[in-house]
Chain A
């Protein structure tokens, strides 16, 4: 039994038997079973904590551009919008709409950058993404994403937990709950943030919600200890720490022999695991071990907190069996209220930082044979308006766009995803109109790649069998994206 199975077992003990039985009904959490000595139940493969069907992906790398990058400056080419640049926004776009900052009647804003077609599929892409263009034939670009949230925190929560309020498990938590981890020495769900800030919705976007807390994402840092408190204090080198842990184990064994408390045994194994993590996690996060050509490929600088470093770490973690690797890159909220968030300034810098690293990650995964069973996802929490932002009702110094839940672009690659394009927006790029993809559709599709069925992966809470995609908002698996 690996340590995560052990953890499930421990949590299972603390869950009610009824909940436990219901989990079996739901088909997951099966690793609790064998440890509880209920062999009759373990006959059903659904209940062994293994996938519902043959998976295409062993792991997921989700590159979340927090703040929501503009689809109109990157992937969604709109000549009609360019033609209307500077004109008053037609009334039909404004009626019944909520905006964060736009007031009254704003003006249309054409794309700030040139587009051209690239790759075998002649896909439109802007000149901000020269590196991504080189791997464009590996991407399935979904231009018809839409959401129902127009503020960052709830939209990010929706993207990662399927709900707009805090307190629900994230997809990564659902994935490790359903499949466990493949790593003996590392957490199964790791979160890396760059851009100087964590996402708007805070740690809830990688929380475990009502699932046992062992399934929550572990935020690792690219500066300092990758896992909080991972290093032993100065003056306690490994051999001394080993002796201390051995003493703890021996005393705990004596306690167990005396008291027969099962938790004591679990504690012994956790101290062992902690010791192994201290050794292996540090190594996993040491990108200095990488050769020079890899650093060149990614544009990485060891010791710096950057999206590039996190992309390289993502590959290292993928190699080591981490199930769900979640990256957040802050700084894509291009309102134009200041230079750093202007489409004509800060946005260009963000593109440069993201473009090469993303290209490098895909290239690197591919050359190591990892891309075929790794699902890579790129995108933000919503899109941006084809109207120029007019905060306070007037013209602003810098150029920006407001939040737009009606349309945005995401792409997926690897894990049996067919490269190409999916969906379309209206001529303004304002609303998805053809082959629309909801956030819940995307989530159902991610689970599908992992071999999990979004209706079957459930957990009993508050009287209901809760799922990632809520019953009230049916989700579809996007089978047409599969090769």
Chain B
């Protein structure tokens, strides 16, 4: 909704404050002072969506133009001649802008704002590109307290602190930093041994040694994979109504390895967006395209596969923009961006990159790639499966080329039309149906020979779209599963006419990979399935040329056996049968190269069939002959199609050579050093993981409607450090951050500092944030000693309450894991989109139906119920109690101190120790009369279980 509500006084105050900073003569900043006024008061009606009276303030050339009434809106240097100034300063309620009355009314601009706009026009009305679209540049800063600086980023933090007259806090105690860095880098607290070793090593190199150890730990990849899984909307189910299981955990394995191996970011982008398009992709590069396939699939009965294929494609566009570019591209689906200079067509140009993958919302998640169980077989299995696709296309290629030639196909007369259900009719050489055709429909057509003596070599089936306007499509599927032909003589004698092969115009789709399958009884064949995008042709080649005698007719039987989800038929509705007499078809089908390819295909099929493995959904591009046309969806509605679009990247960002033409080039464009967003968006996300807030707090909105960076110099330094100094590798970026003096500050605040900077945006103290949903579990598992580490593998089912999984139609059950899988890290928990693991949801995990760009950390009463009452957490408390009781020191105080150390890695403050000692004494007493047998073996142990529960629930255990 455009901003039309009254502007609150504080916003006016803000603007006033901005006005004060622009003293007369001082250069006015478009980005800081002018754009906010336009965005708040004008672009709701005069922006990217609405251009009332032909006026828009998004592009300078538009704002400098004339309105529909012929007035010049902004005349640089001449505020008095600018319609804008006349309007905003008018006293006439019928003339003033923003309007004083009516639906679009808005608060009038203040005198200060009017002056600011006038001065800015007088200064030349210079537009500025929004900061995020300008390439980052390193700024030189010279803060005073140079000896505080440990890593380069500190200079930028310190410079800002000094400007705000704030001093950094003291260095954190070593144990505080150790807990923080261990949780930040690996998602796990340090063990007591690790803590001991670090405290004992008093050298300053000890810090770096700890960081190197953590970065080298396999646990590191698990922690950062968990972060990326929100963006990739990782889940073990397909979503929507049925939300069935999907095998895609190999993608998670890939992700963990990518982080552990410190895959440079451009490769990280490329493999996920276009791993299938690199030359000879590896198994891993196909698995990584799971990033695209993690969209939802709708298998509810009666749904339109195309509707949800398109939904998945749109999701891929939005996810790519949100996760890699931090721009809310979703707006552009329906109209030009209301705030950003991104026109409507750009969305569909970009969508075109994703619009021609093979997947199409199939129940079986086609296409699937077999990832061999045996690691040594994997690359071979992948190569063989890709060969299969290549061979099929090669086999069909001569036929598809022959089809393009202008061969004079003979149009026979149709007679004796019959159909198993409904009616089959003809008009001008085209056969068409009426009535109901169920999934299994058979058509009988007799072809009267055009003239006796004709030699027939081939039969062409042309499947026609329902209308001739391509913008009406795609149409309901029209797919031919099998065709047989008989010759009937004048005497009524009938004989089979065998075919040798079938060529199609292209090879694509879940039922159209092998045109020759139309000679066999399966549902596979030729045509458009699940949708018909355009006319489809297939040529059935006769084994032997057939010379027709006078009176001979040909009887064709066509079988349509395919249906989509919910039993919707994809029978032929408009089609043509024609006869060919060119000998070329027999030559093609009988050629040596054909025989050679068929042999290779058979061998490869056999080879592929021999590999046992997981069947994983991957992205695969359709052949160039079967690219889907992309059109603008007018108003974002896929049924209202506008102009056709070629793939391309938005103009606002860095150009890509001539033009990025496919997903691979698009991925390269994202990682190009000229892209002003990619590095910034990623380092900002990493920064927020460590410091609690992003430098741009709106992690997914770097546009002009997002928040401006709190410290642009710092952001740009980190972006450049990541891209250039660190060669796009995350580990070096993290090292700079966690070894910085900024990060090493004590997180202790003061009343004054908390009041001055409640969110710690200026970083005058160390970060202190609540553990993430995953860390809450992993931390408690670690404290109790139960944690079972195993890198990667299928998802597991730790205990959850009964009745969480009650989704319709799902026969699947949650079975609590026994053995080590019960105690695996949180990221391995089986993730069902419609019923995600409840205790993690309570701590703000995302259900991951779509890309989750930012978790909002909440603090609710449902959280204590989890960590106090969830049977899983009770089990952790019981185990922790045992650990505490087993502490060699017999005294309660020593045991309590040990427990505190296990859940916080800090020495217990004496007052807290007193509280717990008292509690322990009382509970031992209480359990003399309160039954404890479900909890523990003795009153003493029951008391310890309660103490352990308290220790897992205190603030210091839930934060880092």
Residue-wise, chain A 372-400 has the 8 Å CB interface mask toward B (1 for contact) of 00000000000000000011111000000
* B178 CB to nearest A CB, Å: 17
Question: Given that A263-B959, A270-B863 are known contacts, is A104 also in contact with B437, CB under 8 Å in the complex?
Answer: yes
CB–CB B850/A166 < 8 A: yes
Is B915 part of the binding interface, using a Cβ–Cβ cutoff of 8 Å? Answer: yes
CB–CB B302/A235 < 8 A: no
CB–CB A266/B926 < 8 A: no
CB-CB < 8 A to A247: which residues of B? 915-916, 919, 950
CB–CB B856/A258 < 8 A: no
**Segment touching A, from B18-26, B327-335, B395-403:** B327-335
The answer for the CA separation of A310 and B392 in the assembled complex, in Å, is: 59
Interface residue total, chain B, C-beta cutoff 8 A: 122
The answer for the CA separation of A7 and B856 in the assembled complex, in Å, is: 12
**Segment touching A, from B132-140, B198-206, B224-232, B561-569:** B561-569
CB-CB < 8 A to A230: which residues of B? 865, 869
Is A307 part of the binding interface, using a Cβ–Cβ cutoff of 8 Å? Answer: no
CB–CB B5/A25 < 8 A: yes
CB–CB B435/A105 < 8 A: yes
Residue-wise, chain B 859-898 has the 8 Å CB interface mask toward A (1 for contact) of 1111111101111001000000000000000000000000
CB–CB B930/A240 < 8 A: yes
Question: Given that A101-B567, A240-B946, A260-B749 are known contacts, is A227 also in contact with B862, CB under 8 Å in the complex?
Answer: yes
CB–CB B865/A198 < 8 A: no
CB–CB B870/A21 < 8 A: no
Contact of B311 among A165, A212, A225, A231 (CB under 8 A): A165
Is B958 part of the binding interface, using a Cβ–Cβ cutoff of 8 Å? Answer: yes
CB-CB < 8 A to B839: which residues of A? 229
Is B758 part of the binding interface, using a Cβ–Cβ cutoff of 8 Å? Answer: yes
The answer for the CA separation of A331 and B865 in the assembled complex, in Å, is: 32
CB–CB B953/A248 < 8 A: yes
* A87 CB to nearest B CB, Å: 15
CB-CB < 8 A to B243: which residues of A? 202
CB-CB < 8 A to B834: which residues of A? 198, 201-204
Within 8 A of B (CB), among A312-350: 330
Contact of B869 among A98, A212, A229, A471 (CB under 8 A): A229
CB–CB A18/B707 < 8 A: yes
The answer for the CA separation of A21 and B9 in the assembled complex, in Å, is: 10
The answer for the CA separation of A164 and B109 in the assembled complex, in Å, is: 38
CB-CB < 8 A to A235: which residues of B? 930-936, 942, 945
Is A11 part of the binding interface, using a Cβ–Cβ cutoff of 8 Å? Answer: yes
CB–CB B241/A25 < 8 A: no
Within 8 A of A (CB), among B305-322: 311
Query: How many residue pairs at the A-B interface have CB separations less than 8 Å?
Result: 310
The answer for the CA separation of A247 and B954 in the assembled complex, in Å, is: 9
The answer for the CA separation of A258 and B909 in the assembled complex, in Å, is: 10
Contact of A204 among B311, B806, B849, B865 (CB under 8 A): B849
Contact of A464 among B331, B698, B954 (CB under 8 A): B331
CB-CB < 8 A to B956: which residues of A? 251, 255
* A463 CB to nearest B CB, Å: 4
Is A295 part of the binding interface, using a Cβ–Cβ cutoff of 8 Å? Answer: no
* A105 CB to nearest B CB, Å: 6
Residue of A nearest to B761 (CB): A17
CB–CB B11/A21 < 8 A: yes
Is A38 part of the binding interface, using a Cβ–Cβ cutoff of 8 Å? Answer: yes
CB-CB < 8 A to B911: which residues of A? 254
CB–CB A197/B750 < 8 A: no
Is A417 part of the binding interface, using a Cβ–Cβ cutoff of 8 Å? Answer: no
The answer for the CA separation of A392 and B301 in the assembled complex, in Å, is: 12
Is A92 part of the binding interface, using a Cβ–Cβ cutoff of 8 Å? Answer: no
Contact of A203 among B338, B847, B915 (CB under 8 A): B847
- Interface size class of chain A, counting residues whose CB lies under 8 Å from the partner chain: 35 or more
Contact of A462 among B330, B801, B912 (CB under 8 A): B330
**Segment touching B, from A68-76, A122-130, A213-221:** A213-221
CB-CB < 8 A to A273: which residues of B? 861
Is B409 part of the binding interface, using a Cβ–Cβ cutoff of 8 Å? Answer: no
Residue of B nearest to A456 (CB): B5
Is A252 part of the binding interface, using a Cβ–Cβ cutoff of 8 Å? Answer: yes
CB–CB A231/B749 < 8 A: no
Is B465 part of the binding interface, using a Cβ–Cβ cutoff of 8 Å? Answer: no
Within 8 A of A (CB), among B797-822: 801-804, 806-808
Within 8 A of B (CB), among A3-43: 3, 7, 10-11, 13-19, 21-22, 24-27, 38, 40-41
CB–CB B850/A267 < 8 A: no
CB–CB B301/A101 < 8 A: yes
CB–CB B421/A472 < 8 A: no
CB-CB < 8 A to B869: which residues of A? 229-233
Question: Given that A26-B5, A267-B955 are known contacts, is A260 also in contact with B748, CB under 8 Å in the complex?
Answer: yes
Residue-wise, chain B 2-16 has the 8 Å CB interface mask toward A (1 for contact) of 110111111101100
Is A111 part of the binding interface, using a Cβ–Cβ cutoff of 8 Å? Answer: no
Which has the most chain B C-beta neighbours within 10 Å: A41, A264, A266?
Answer: A264
CB–CB A104/B847 < 8 A: no
Residue of B nearest to A166 (CB): B849
Residue of A nearest to B704 (CB): A463
Is A291 part of the binding interface, using a Cβ–Cβ cutoff of 8 Å? Answer: no
* B379 CB to nearest A CB, Å: 38
* A3 CB to nearest B CB, Å: 7
Contact of B955 among A44, A243, A252 (CB under 8 A): A252
The answer for the CA separation of A123 and B59 in the assembled complex, in Å, is: 59
CB–CB A254/B909 < 8 A: yes
Is A277 part of the binding interface, using a Cβ–Cβ cutoff of 8 Å? Answer: yes
Is B835 part of the binding interface, using a Cβ–Cβ cutoff of 8 Å? Answer: yes
CB-CB < 8 A to B600: which residues of A? none
Within 8 A of A (CB), among B907-960: 909, 911-912, 915-916, 919, 922-923, 926, 930-936, 942, 945-946, 949-950, 953-956, 958-959
CB–CB A223/B871 < 8 A: no
Is A244 part of the binding interface, using a Cβ–Cβ cutoff of 8 Å? Answer: yes
Within 8 A of A (CB), among B352-388: none
CB–CB A330/B808 < 8 A: yes
Is B76 part of the binding interface, using a Cβ–Cβ cutoff of 8 Å? Answer: no
Residue of B nearest to A38 (CB): B10
Is B95 part of the binding interface, using a Cβ–Cβ cutoff of 8 Å? Answer: no
Is B439 part of the binding interface, using a Cβ–Cβ cutoff of 8 Å? Answer: yes
CB–CB A239/B3 < 8 A: no
The answer for the CA separation of A267 and B331 in the assembled complex, in Å, is: 37
CB-CB < 8 A to A112: which residues of B? none
The answer for the CA separation of A10 and B759 in the assembled complex, in Å, is: 11
The answer for the CA separation of A201 and B242 in the assembled complex, in Å, is: 9
Residue of A nearest to B302 (CB): A100
The answer for the CA separation of A73 and B705 in the assembled complex, in Å, is: 51
Question: Given that A198-B808, A201-B241, A462-B328 are known contacts, is A254 also in contact with B861, CB under 8 Å in the complex?
Answer: no
Is A58 part of the binding interface, using a Cβ–Cβ cutoff of 8 Å? Answer: no
CB–CB B1/A233 < 8 A: no
Residue-wise, chain B 141-152 has the 8 Å CB interface mask toward A (1 for contact) of 000000000000
Which has the most chain B C-beta neighbours within 10 Å: A7, A18, A390, A455?
Answer: A18
The answer for the CA separation of A264 and B14 in the assembled complex, in Å, is: 31
CB-CB < 8 A to A465: which residues of B? 1-3
* A460 CB to nearest B CB, Å: 8
7 A-B residue pairs with Cβ-Cβ distance under 8 Å, sorted by A, are: A25-B11, A40-B9, A166-B239, A202-B835, A232-B869, A251-B950, A464-B331
9 smallest beta-carbon distances between A and B, as pairs? A104-B436, A100-B302, A202-B834, A393-B438, A235-B935, A463-B705, A273-B861, A274-B864, A234-B934
Residues of B whose CB lies within 8 Å of any CB of A are 1-3, 5-11, 13-14, 239-241, 243, 298, 300-304, 311, 328, 330-331, 334, 337-340, 421-422, 435-439, 566-569, 635-636, 697-698, 700-701, 703, 705-707, 747-751, 753-754, 758-759, 768, 770, 801-804, 806-808, 833-835, 838-839, 844, 847, 849-850, 856-866, 868-871, 874, 909, 911-912, 915-916, 919, 922-923, 926, 930-936, 942, 945-946, 949-950, 953-956, 958-959
Query: 14 extra interchain contacts, Cβ-Cβ under 8 A, other than A198-B835, A235-B936, A263-B768?
Result: A10-B859, A98-B304, A103-B569, A104-B422, A201-B241, A202-B241, A204-B849, A227-B865, A228-B865, A244-B946, A260-B749, A261-B749, A391-B567, A403-B302
